[in-house]
Amino acid sequence: MTRLPEEVHYNKAFGWAAKDSSGVLSPFNFFTRETGEKDVTFKVLYCGICHSDLHMVKNEWGNSIYPLVPGHEIVGEVTEIGCKVQKFKAGDRVGVGCMVGSCHSCDNCINNLENYCPKMIFTYGTKYYDGAVTHGGYSNTMVVDEHFVVSIPENLPLDATAPLLCAGITVYSPLRFYGLDKPGLRVGVVGLGGLGHLAVKFAKAMGTNVTVISTSPSKQKEALENLGADSFLVSRDQDQLQAGIGTLDGIIDTVSTQHPLLPLLGLLKSHGKLVILGIPGKPFELQVFPLIQGRKLIGRSMIGGMKETQEMIDFAAEHNIKTDIEVIAMDYVNTAIDRLLKGDVKYRFVIDIGNTLRPSS
């Protein structure tokens, strides 16, 4: 039985929410639970805008629950901890990504893969154990089980770290899992957006030779000079595609729109791996023979477990990896979403929650 928020939650909170599938966000008051014995309560300071937020506020995946407070790239400062919390204390810099709960007992959870737990609870838009719907980081405060909270090292700026909690782990995890993290390997990155620019940074820090693959020749200078990629390939240029056949050990494909896979498979060496991270609106068309010829593999991936997420943050701190961001005020969020739909951001919007979110009447 679902209980009313007022019956299970006690502390007042405020943020911005979508009230319906129009996707327009506006001020919203709600309740959070009190700090439980294993909970960390923290003041939200910054929250990134992920492309999945756009899908959710408009109910494009058909599972949105309104009112919906988005945001799963969240960083802030601890204000209170439960009596059994061991890893954090008041004043600590912390972050929360895409999930806030799991069963802790299935094979996935036991193997630090909470992100694949059948009972995984998303940071927003999902019913929590108490029956209330979770609210995300477009808000002033979060109460989260300490297992799903990561520590943010002091040398990482909070604003540029926020998107690492979704975009960063989304590219880091497949680089590790599919073995594309070995120095000297040749790795392609398709798309130079929020995910793509971080894939370049992480892959370079791992010591690989990185080729950016894009439909836009205008991005060549950015890829080579600003992000440090080793080469650039225009995917619409047949001569460049021909020259690149069989040259890559793996490809991280970050594009979320429909696009042909056959040319990408052609760029792979034998035993090469094409890892698709985007979620297009229509299924891909796939021919089998390009996979058979060379024993090539197509794989997928979704964020990472909590152990790996902390590992990614620590790796970013060690190698000075930060997201390229545009910081915005809370009341600019609807304009930012419109711009994100048009690809008009370099490369991630981050909301300055701590300084610009104001309580509504």
Please report whether residue 357 resides in a domain: no
**Residue ranges making up the domain that contains 340:** 10-166+324-352
Kindly state whether residues 40 and 63 are assigned to the same domain.
yes
Please report whether residue 56 resides in a domain: yes
Please report whether residue 248 resides in a domain: yes
Whether pTM exceeds 0.85:
yes
Residues 260-270: tens digit of each pLDDT:
899 999 999 99
**At 232, is the secondary structure helix, strand, or coil?**
strand
Query: Is 213 within 8 Å of 207 (Cβ atoms)?
Result: no
For residue 241, give the CATH number of its domain.
3.40.50.720
**Rounded CA gap, 351 and 123, in Å?**
17
For residue 101, give the CATH number of its domain.
3.90.180.10
Kindly state whether residues 228 and 274 are assigned to the same domain.
yes
Kindly state whether residues 195 and 274 are assigned to the same domain.
yes
Kindly state whether residues 192 and 65 are assigned to the same domain.
no
Please report whether residue 252 resides in a domain: yes
Please report whether residue 306 resides in a domain: no
Kindly state whether residues 149 and 259 are assigned to the same domain.
no
Reported as a pLDDT band with limits 50, 70 and 90, residue 109 is very high
Kindly state whether residues 64 and 158 are assigned to the same domain.
yes
- What whole-number percentage of the chain has pLDDT above 90? 90
Kindly state whether residues 15 and 150 are assigned to the same domain.
yes
User: Does position 335 have pLDDT exceeding 60, yes or no?
Assistant: yes
- Predicted local confidence at residue 9, as pLDDT: 55
Kindly state whether residues 19 and 136 are assigned to the same domain.
yes
User: Does position 341 have pLDDT exceeding 70, yes or no?
Assistant: yes
Please report whether residue 281 resides in a domain: yes
Kindly state whether residues 190 and 159 are assigned to the same domain.
no
Q: Which two tokens stand for residue 257?
A: 């729109």
Please report whether residue 312 resides in a domain: no
Cβ neighbours of residue 73 under 8 Å, at least 6 residues apart? 47, 48, 49, 50, 97, 137, 162, 163, 164, 165, 166, 167, 350
Structural domain tally of the chain? 2
**Rounded CA gap, 251 and 244, in Å?**
13
- Predicted local confidence at residue 361, as pLDDT: 53
Query: Which one of 266, 285, 300 terminates a domain?
Result: 300
Kindly state whether residues 143 and 249 are assigned to the same domain.
no
Kindly state whether residues 114 and 237 are assigned to the same domain.
no
- Predicted local confidence at residue 117, as pLDDT: 98
Kindly state whether residues 121 and 174 are assigned to the same domain.
no
Please report whether residue 314 resides in a domain: no
